[in-house]
C-alpha cells in the first residue's frame, strides 16, 4: 500500500531566532512599561504578577496545543497502519471453506 511520509517541516534556525527575539522584546517592553508606570507600588506589583501569569499561561497553552497535535498525529499513524494491515491481509479472491 502507499505510505505517505509526515508533512512536518522542521523549524528553521531563522524562525526560531525570530520567535525568541520577538518574545524577549515584547516581555522587555511590557516590563519597562510596568516599571515606569506612574502608579503606586501595589498597582505596579499587581501588573507585574498579572504579566507573569499571562506569560506562563501562554507557555502552558502552547505546550498543550503541541501535545494534542502530536497525539492526533500518532493516532492517525496507528489508524493508517491498521488499515494498511487490513488491506494487505484481505484477499478478495479467497473462497472461505464452509
Mean pLDDT value across the chain: 84
Residue 49 resides in a domain: yes
Which structural domain, as residue segments, surrounds residue 51?
32-89
The per-residue pLDDT for range 74-98, each reduced to its tens digit, is 777 777 888 888 778 777 777 776 5
Residue 1: pLDDT band (50, 70, 90) is very low
- What's the confidence (pLDDT) of residue 59? 92
DSSP designation for 10: P
Question: Which CA distances in Å does 80 have to 6, 57, 71?
Answer: 12, 34, 14
Residue 18 resides in a domain: no
Residue 58 resides in a domain: yes
d(CA 65, CA 27): 22
Residues in the chain: 98
Residue 1 resides in a domain: no
Residue 72 resides in a domain: yes
Residue 19 resides in a domain: no
Q: How many domains does the chain have?
A: 1
Residue 14 resides in a domain: no
Query: What pTM does this model have?
Result: 0.58
| pLDDT for residue 3 is more than 60 | no
Given its phi and psi angles, is residue 37 left (phi above 0), alpha (psi -120 to 50 degrees) or beta?
Answer: beta
Residue 39 resides in a domain: yes
Amino acid at each position: 500500500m502507499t505510505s505517505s511520509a509526515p508533512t512536518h517541516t522542521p523549524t528553521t534556525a531563522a524562525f526560531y531566532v525570530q520567535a525568541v527575539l520577538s518574545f524577549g522584546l515584547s516581555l522587555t517592553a511590557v516590563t519597562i512599561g510596568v516599571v515606569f508606570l506612574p502608579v503606586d507600588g501595589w498597582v505596579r506589583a499587581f501588573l507585574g504578577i498579572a504579566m507573569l501569569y499571562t506569560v506562563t499561561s501562554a507557555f502552558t497553552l502552547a505546550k498543550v496545543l503541541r501535545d494534542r497535535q502530536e497525539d492526533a498525529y500518532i493516532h492517525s499513524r496507528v489508524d493508517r497502519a491498521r488499515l494498511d494491515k487490513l488491506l494487505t491481509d484481505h484477499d478478495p479472491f479467497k473462497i472461505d471453506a464452509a
